[in-house]
Chain A
Amino acid sequence: SQQGEEDPQALSIQEGENATMNCSYKTSINNLQWYRQNSGRGLVHLILIRSNEREKHSGRLRVTLDTSKKSSSLLITASRAADTASYFCAISGSARQLTFGSGTQLTVLP
């Protein structure tokens, strides 16, 4: 299965701290994407990193990709209470649909 596995399942931090989430996968990929989901709502695309890229930035987000270890990490710097949400990695590989991981529930305490 190409499904990504996020780690940790849950993360609780104070406002202003950095939050790091990890995603591991099993097969070769075309790209890896990160999405955010507020409770009971739809998912919102955050960032896409291609298999030939190692690092990408978008605002307070930093994503790294290590294809040799089949892993990616999402770093949110200077977290805010509004960052509280579930974060999912999604794998784009040989199958033509995105396969989502189980998610990390991030809680940012004010």
Chain B
Amino acid sequence: KAGVTQTPRYLIKTRGQQVTLSCSPISGHRSVSWYQQTPGQGLQFLFEYFSETQRNKGNFPGRFSGRQFSNSRSEMNVSTLELGDSALYLCASKAPTGLDTGELFFGEGSRLTVL
């Protein structure tokens, strides 16, 4: 069974640009969560999608948005990039049986550098 796949793995953008990151969950998993990881703030929850609906949202500005498609693939978008958005963006999926409390299966992440 393939794991969680994130693309692209690395990308470099400049301030003011926007970026879209993609995540394909494990087959059969319908929940997709996004986390931002930085050295200063650690792992911070962005949002979770389940069956194309945003189920939960962290404390990030509106520049951060996401969506989920009918095949459970998810994208997140960051508009008007700032230097502080440089981070490792991690996507994770959950098995249907572990929707509220179960383990997360993480992808390898997308490393975003904003210049």
Contact = CB atoms under 8 A, between A and B. Distances in A.
A110 interface: no
A103 B42 contact: yes
B39 to A, nearest CB: 10
A13 interface: no
B107 A42 contact: yes
Contacts of A102: 42
Given A41-B109, A43-B106, A95-B56, A31 B42 contact: no
Nearest to B111: A40
Contact of A45 (B55, B104, B109): B104
B111 to A, nearest CB: 7
Nearest to B55: A96
A96 B56 contact: yes
Contacts of A103: 42
A87 interface: no
Interface in A14-44: 30-31, 33, 35, 40-44
A61 interface: no
B101 A30 contact: yes
A66 B88 CA distance: 32
Nearest to B3: A42
A35 B102 CA distance: 13
Contact of A96 (B48, B103, B111): B48
Interface of A: 30-31, 33, 35, 40-45, 48, 88, 90, 92, 95-103
Interface of B: 4, 33, 35, 42-43, 45, 48, 55-56, 58, 88, 90, 92, 100-109, 111
Given A43-B106, A98-B45, 5 more contacts: A40-B111, A43-B104, A45-B104, A88-B43, A97-B56
